[in-house]
Chain A
Amino acid sequence: MHRTKLIDRRTCLRGVGAALALPLLDVMGWQEAKANHAYKPPVRIGFMYMPHGVIMDDFWPKDSEAFLSSPPAAVESLKPVLKECLMMKGISGVPTAPFNGAPHALELSTWLTATLPDPAKRSEINIAISADQIAANYVGAFTPLPSLELATMPQNWKENQAGLNEGYYSHCSYRSPTQVVPAETNPRNVLSRLFGQTGSGSESSDRDAAPTPISPLDRDMLDLVLGGARELRQKLPVSDKRKLDEYLDSVRSVERRIAAIEQRQKEAAMEKAGLRSDQRGADSPPIEIKIPDGDKRSEYMQVMCDLNVLAFQTDMTRVSTYIGSRPNGASYPELGFSDKHHSQTHHRGDKSKMEKVAKIVQFNIEQFAHMVKKMHSLREADGTLLDNCIMMWGSGLEDGDKHTRENLPFVVAGRGGGTLNTGRFLTDVQGNQGDLLTTLLTCAGIPLDRPIGIATKQIEALKA
């Protein structure tokens, strides 16, 4: 099978195919170093989620001055990197009517869509493409993986709120209004997805390690299958076509990943043979991944965070989403109590419950802090990896007790390649979650042809 034909098919499928013919690294970013001027690393954008809101007194800084000098307990763990962080009050969530009875189905599903599910089709998935996937559609073409979706817990929570599809409960990434993007929960699979094998530093046996690398023969075989599928597609009615497109799309991205991995192997070989100068000598070497043996939640979340760091550091992807915990079903035995997160958030002012919730929030932010501190420790170009990232941590409720969404809690870390003015707490930005996503994507250099969800503007106050 000739490569050119492959490209034709991909081009048909998504229109970004032409980029694939070029060596990936020449397309954007890194390769500008060639002509001896300083290269500018690409901006990466990541999202990390915690459900059920925060204890407000524990989370919001007292005022903009106090943010750096005496940060609130919830973000204590971020202290070393607070100068790289932004907090902002005054981001409201999507109004939930007519789904007032579905606070938890909506908190995650609206988080990156800033859109309500279509009430007329509530039993199906019908919402909107999410911000991470919008980003992936644009910058995804430049990396082996368009985006990376991770989750700590399986996305199989079965609860139906207000007749909404159960999928809304545990998903925040939507490739299209009707298609969820499932997240990976097994770190080993993530490694193999990133590098086609069990990865660096892992000493585990390969017994349960996933997929053997895909061979060129498989690729050519897939190409024939893809051709057959396209013939089938032409004969199908339109609703079936849409379903089949999801299949075609996934074949296409597998092919692209194979091509990208081959490209990287080639480069590595050239570098080894001295045929190519190492232009990124200033950068830190790739971090090591150690997959924990036990099932401690903190260790597990940290390895997922590490994988996120590694994926950004090695430019395997520029977009990530990590559902650190899903609404309902989570508990934190590590913190010394076995209560479910959700039951404690309905504290009605009970001190002991509020304390437990505060601990859970701190715990989640600690994992986020682990990730951004690591990014801050890695050198990249003239600065750090974190300088070139936009990492958003947040929740889909403000107060889990009352299910309010007036001031959604967010922490943004990273300077977005110099586009964000960090080290500040903004006391009232008067925006909504769509505005925030629109702003962050714009800072990441994603051209948007329309606002995200309920957005009406960008929040200029965040920008540098």
Chain B
Amino acid sequence: MRFPPSTPAIFLKIAAALAIHWLASNVSLLAQDARLVQTPQTQEDAKRHFRKHVVPFIQAYCIDCHQNSRPTEAGVNFSPAIHTPEHAAFTDQWKRAAARVAAHDMPPEGLEQPSDEERQMFVEWQKNIKYLSSKDPGPFVIRRLTKSEYANTLADLFGVDPEIAGSLPDEVSGAGYLNSISPLQLESYLAIAEKVLQQCAPVLQTREQSLTPETSEDGSADFPVTRLFSEFPAEQRSGPPREFAQKLLRLMFRRPASEQEINVSLDVFALAQKQDLSYDESLRLMVKAALVSPQFLFITPVEPQAAEKGAEKGAETEVGQKSELEGIVPLDNHQLASRLSYFLWASMPDEHLMRLADEGRLQQTDVLATQVERMLLSPKSRALFDGFGAQWLGLDDWQERTFDRSLFPQMNTEMRQAMYDEARLLFECVVRENKSVGALIDSDFTYLNGTLAEIYGVAGPLGDSLQKVKLENSNRGGVLTMPAVLAATSFPNRTSPVNRGVWVLEQILGENVPAAPPDVPPLEAETQDASQELTMRELTELHRKDPVCANCHKLLDPIGFGLENFDAIGRWREFDATNTPINASGTLPDGTSFSGPAELKAMVLGRKNDFARNFTGKLLAYALCRSLEGYDVIVLDRIMEHVAEKEYRLQEVVKAVVSSYPFTHRRIDTEN
């Protein structure tokens, strides 16, 4: 590994204080002196270890209170968990339990306490739960295109404005939701199909003289479907257009169509002919039918395959290999092409990808890697920021955010756009120039235009378009101190050190910050007006008087205050709204201190491994369209080992994700 953990002891200890926390990386520290119990590395080992050590621990110290009974103590119940510890439902529970045991919160005072060795064993166990999971790529159920994927696909096929899909309802990410389709939506699909055809009718015409793309008069034939029309052989304009159907469906279904599917399309043609529609109109009805077909709206496999038993002879046998790989199959080439292109482009595969899929070469690692490079360099990869990057940075609802315009009159459309684009351009730069992910945290350049330069208080480039600008001030540069992110983690009228602290911990470092207890109001929102006389720091320090709040806030707040020099829209300031000098220094629970944003950034960068893992995990989840669980954690371990050697360069991260086992395989649930 090129990037050994350097200084992160500070953060590691805090973890225990945080009580509910991602412990995986930390426990080794607790356990560094005595490795009493050998770490299990295989599924069998893990099971044996669990039975021999963990179950007795739970039975001795936990189960009396936390068992199947009503009410369960604190909602924690180990009765089912000791039978199926690997079940995703208990992942969080194990994490919490380990954290509480590590922090000596549990078992509670007054009850029998485990020895230090036992405690350590239990805490260490938490990071080995993953070894209980069988090798499993997870399900990849046929998936409906999201609104933006659908819109982009229409644009790629017909050259229409993606706005044409604007009438579809917005959707929330999450596997279950995306797959739903309502009657209303189908009607919208039908209406949108109609609109597309009306808009494109002038170019969806066959010609007396079929044209080659070079000779097309107006350039409008440069979209795949319009080209199909313009290249339609005039001499074939009488019989059933079988060849047309075949080409059309390959385009629109993103895979070769089956004989049956071609026949359905020809039936549609015949239907139109029977209604005395012209030849071209009949062809257009075929297009319309394809536009509302499930094979277009969903990503479907080529030759829908029944699960093949033992379809894969696994090369990797050391970890959690299921004896029978029942129902696990590699994605077919076209499915992989679609998965890849909807991941990186949020749109359909282009002809290049399709050809590789036709040739059956897309499963080859080197071919896949070359394609990733090509695709990331294409302007279409902007979708990766709009879909993934923006979500990760908390900018996905940026357009709807409200700002107090009396305080921040400059937050108009242009400014918002500039702020969003600044983040996007940095992300794209890291992607295209294949920089290390660390460059997202700290960079000595950014992108400014005249409008945004005002926020930075520098003489920036004039004009509207953003240009790369070298930064002299080490407090700037990187996503932590970027106006869009700073504003997105603020309230409409002022900053929120707590939101910023949570954001850094969760989005950057991958910590799991527990929500405030249910009956605790967010202090800040509450005292907005009443406590104007208190400074933000005094106000927030109220948190730490209450022991319930203090545990988390003594970690959150200093980080948030480290960014207090930036106001609610990201401008540098020395004084806050009450004209008190800003004090951006902070001390973390372990005594480490920093004096301002630059040092805070450096501290975060010191945990580059954690950041890289968090970032990669989120990217993998985005690529798979589901959250990570069980075996995925082992997959992520492997990816991290690999990309650490490649200095966490972003293209390497993407390549590792798309060639990973769960991305290239699917589990098929068999009938029963």
Query: A residues bordering B, Cβ < 8 Å?
Result: 1, 97-98, 100-101, 103, 119-126, 145, 154-158, 161-163, 165-167, 169-170, 175, 178-182, 184-185, 189, 193, 210-212, 214, 217-218, 220-222, 224-225, 227-229, 231-232, 235-240, 242-244, 246-247, 249-251, 253-254, 257, 339-340, 343, 346-348, 350, 353, 401-403
Chain B contacts of A166 at CB under 8 A?
Answer: 172-174, 177
With a CB–CB cut-off of 8 A, which chain A residues contact B550?
Answer: none
* Closest 7 A/B residue pairs (Cβ): A125-B176, A346-B521, A211-B191, A235-B304, A228-B264, A97-B75, A167-B177
> Across the interface, which residues of A come within 8 angstroms of B515, CB to CB?
101, 161
With A166-B173, A240-B142, A247-B181 as given contacts, are A254 and B190 in contact (CB-CB < 8 Å)? yes
- Supposing A246-B181, A250-B181 touch, asked if A221 and B285 sit within 8 A by C-beta, the answer is yes
* Cα distance A165–B625 in the bound complex, in angstroms: 12
Q: List 21 A-B contacts (CB under 8 A).
A: A97-B75, A122-B89, A123-B629, A124-B626, A157-B172, A167-B172, A167-B174, A180-B180, A182-B180, A211-B194, A224-B268, A225-B293, A240-B304, A243-B179, A246-B179, A253-B183, A339-B525, A343-B526, A346-B522, A401-B521, A402-B519
Name the distance in Å between B22's Cβ and chain A's nearest Cβ: 13
Contact in complex: B521, A225 (CB < 8 Å):
no
Inter-chain contact B141/A239, CB cutoff 8 Å: yes
CA distance A244 to B514 in the complex (A): 38
Whether B288 and A221, one on each chain, are in contact in the complex, defined by CB atoms closer than 8 angstroms, is: yes
| Interface residue? B165 (CB, 8 A) | no
In contact, B169 and A155 (Cβ under 8 angstroms): yes
A167 to B175, CA, bound (A): 9
Q: Which residues of B contact A178 (CB under 8 A)?
A: 176
Q: How far is the CA of A250 from the CA of B176 in the complex (A)?
A: 17
Contact, CB under 8 Å: B71 / A218: no
B142-A210 in contact (CB<8A): no
One of B188, B272, B303 near A210 (C-beta < 8 A): B188
CA distance A185 to B183 in the complex (A): 15
Could you say which residues of chain B place their CB within 8 Å of the CB of A348?
521, 526
Q: Are A217 and B275 in contact, CB atoms less than 8 angstroms apart? A: yes
Interface stretch (choices B120-128, B634-642, B664-672): B664-672
Report how far A141 CA is from B525 CA in the complex, Å.
48
B62, CB-defined interface residue at 8 Å: no
Q: Given that A124-B175, A167-B174, A222-B292 are contacting pairs, would A98 and B75 also be in contact in the complex, using a CB cutoff of 8 Å?
A: yes
- How far, in whole Å, are A166 and B175 apart by their CA atoms in the complex? 10
Contact between B671 and A158, CB atoms less than 8 A apart: no
The one of B190, B264, B300, B303 that contacts A224, using a Cβ cutoff of 8 Å: B264
Q: Which residues of the partner chain B approach A254 to less than 8 Å between Cβ atoms?
A: 183, 186-187, 190
Query: Among A221, A239, A403, which residue has its beta carbon within 8 angstroms of that of B139?
Result: A239
Q: How many B residues touch A, CB cutoff 8 Å?
A: 81
**Hey, which chain A residues are within 8 Å of B514, CB to CB?**
101
Contact A185 B169 (CB under 8 A): yes
Q: In the complex the two chains form, is B271's CB within 8 Å of A346's CB?
A: no
Residue in chain A with minimal CB distance to B517: A101
Known: A122-B89, A218-B190. 16 other contacts (CB 8 A): A101-B518, A119-B89, A124-B175, A156-B171, A166-B173, A166-B174, A178-B176, A182-B182, A221-B288, A224-B267, A225-B293, A232-B261, A232-B295, A237-B668, A239-B141, A246-B180
In the bound complex, what is the Cα–Cα distance between A152 and B525 (angstroms)?
A: 24
Are B180 and A179 in contact (CB-based, < 8 A)?
yes
Report Cα–Cα, A145/B188, bound state, in Å.
15
**Closest B-chain residue to A216, C-beta based?**
B275
> Contacts A100-B518, A254-B187 given: A244-B142 contact, CB under 8 Å?
yes
Q: Verify B271–A217 contact, CB threshold 8 A.
A: yes
- Contact with A124, one of B174, B518, B522 (Cβ below 8 angstroms): B174
Assess the A124–B176 pair: CB atoms within 8 A: yes
Q: A237-B668, A238-B670, A343-B526 are in contact. Are A250 and B185 (CB under 8 A)?
A: yes
Q: Say whether A211 contacts B176, CB under 8 Å.
A: no
Interchain CB contact (< 8 A) of A229 among B139, B293, B520, B528: B293
